[in-house]
């Protein structure tokens, strides 16, 4: 019997929908019944993770645990979170559950090592994700060289991320193009979309370049964990 996926979502809702869409599209299925069962708790009331990490904002863990409890009651075989920054709190959540969490950053780092051996990743993400060292630790463990945005580039990312969270459809590619050019000069060969709004931004702006999408890597890992088949590329 195949396993079931529990999505601890709402961080944000569009990113949660993007993960579910990718699970469906990436599953090698000939009919409805070939797909995996997926439970989703999209709790948009979970407090901002970056503010909690950097500004002593409201602790998101109680709301995250409430959503986790719902998924456990549903019978999820594994838990995934479509929010890179939320993985700062993953150990607290794992302590509350016997069901495995699949770490988005770990599977992304391993994918980078496989797809781009010896090449340097440019890491994009929220300020909370990057300043907390979440990706730095995961990439160093996987032996992946990387560069981070400078302060101006990070501000560009945060502006784009929060505009998408606010429902805006982006059309001006210039800020992102400038960021990419600067990071290419700093040594980046490709880019990790280390915030779950970033794949949506890339879909809207369609910049040229090579990207690794952690949302897609999380979908791939969850499908395989639960005994499903991933469509060949």
Which CATH number goes with the domain that contains 30? 3.40.50.1860
Q: In this structure, are 111 and 92 located in the same domain?
A: no
Among residues 78, 112, 195, 226, which one is catalytic? 195
Long-range contacts of 58-62, Cβ-Cβ distance < 8 Å, separation of 24 or more: 60/86, 60/89, 61/89, 61/92, 61/93
Does the residue 124 lie in any domain? yes
Q: In this structure, are 99 and 124 located in the same domain?
A: no
Contact 139, 123 (CB under 8 A): yes
Does the annotation count 74 as an active-site position? no
Does the residue 233 lie in any domain? no
The count of structural domains within the chain is 2
Quick one: CA dihedral 89, 201, 23, 231, positive or negative?
negative
Does the annotation count 206 as an active-site position? no
Q: In this structure, are 91 and 161 located in the same domain?
A: no
Q: In this structure, are 116 and 209 located in the same domain?
A: yes
pLDDT at 98: 95
Q: In this structure, are 72 and 94 located in the same domain?
A: yes
Residue 102 CB burial class (10 angstroms; 0-12, 13-18, ≥19): buried
Does the residue 155 lie in any domain? yes
pTM: 0.93
Widest CA span in the chain: 50
Q: In this structure, are 70 and 120 located in the same domain?
A: no
Q: How far apart are the first and last CA of the chain?
A: 26
The range of the structural domain enclosing residue 52 comes to 4-103+216-225
Q: In this structure, are 204 and 114 located in the same domain?
A: yes
Does the residue 210 lie in any domain? yes
pLDDT at 232: 81
Q: In this structure, are 90 and 111 located in the same domain?
A: no
Does the residue 189 lie in any domain? yes
Chunked mean pLDDT (size 10), the chain, 233 residues: 96 95 97 97 96 95 98 98 96 96 98 98 96 96 98 96 94 96 98 95 96 97 98 80
pLDDT at 117: 98
| Alpha helix positions (H), 121-173 | 127-131, 134-142, 151-165
- What b/e readout covers 137-171, taking b as 16+ CB neighbours within 10 angstroms? ebbeebebebbbbeeebbebbbebbeebbeeeebe
Q: In this structure, are 46 and 138 located in the same domain?
A: no
Contact 160, 175 (CB under 8 A): yes
Does the residue 157 lie in any domain? yes
Q: In this structure, are 109 and 191 located in the same domain?
A: yes
Among residues 31, 74, 78, 83, which one is catalytic? 83
Q: In this structure, are 38 and 111 located in the same domain?
A: no
Q: What are phi and psi of 76, to 5 degrees?
A: -60, 140
Q: In this structure, are 116 and 58 located in the same domain?
A: no
Does the residue 230 lie in any domain? no
Does the residue 32 lie in any domain? yes
Contact 104, 81 (CB under 8 A): yes
pLDDT at 233: 64
């Amino acid at each position: 019997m195949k396993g079931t996926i529990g999505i601890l979502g709402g961080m944000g809702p569009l990113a949660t929908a993007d993960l579910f869409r990718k699970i469906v599209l990436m599953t090698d299925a000939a009919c409805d019944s070939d797909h995996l069962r997926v439970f989703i708790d999209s709790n948009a009331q979970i407090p901002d993770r970056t503010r909690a990490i950097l500004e002593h904002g409201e602790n998101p863990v109680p709301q995250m645990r409430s959503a986790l409890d719902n998924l456990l009651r549903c019978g999820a075989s594994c838990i995934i979170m479509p929010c890179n920054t939320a993985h700062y709190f993953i150990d607290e959540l794992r302590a509350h559950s016997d069901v495995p969490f699949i770490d988005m950053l770990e599977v992304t780092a391993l994918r980078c090592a496989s797809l781009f051996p010896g090449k340097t990743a440019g890491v994009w993400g929220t300020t909370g994700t990057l300043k907390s060292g979440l990706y730095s630790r995961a990439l160093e463990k996987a032996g992946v060289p990387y560069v981070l945005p400078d302060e101006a580039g990070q501000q560009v990312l945060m502006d784009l991320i929060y505009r998408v969270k606010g429902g805006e459809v982006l059309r001006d590619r210039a800020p992102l193009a400038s960021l990419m050019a600067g990071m290419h000069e700093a040594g980046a060969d490709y880019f990790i979309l280390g915030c779950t709004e970033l794949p949506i931004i890339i879909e809207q702006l369609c910049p040229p370049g090579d990207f690794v999408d952690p949302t897609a890597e999380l979908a791939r890992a969850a499908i395989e964990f639960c005994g499903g088949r991933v469509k060949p590329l």
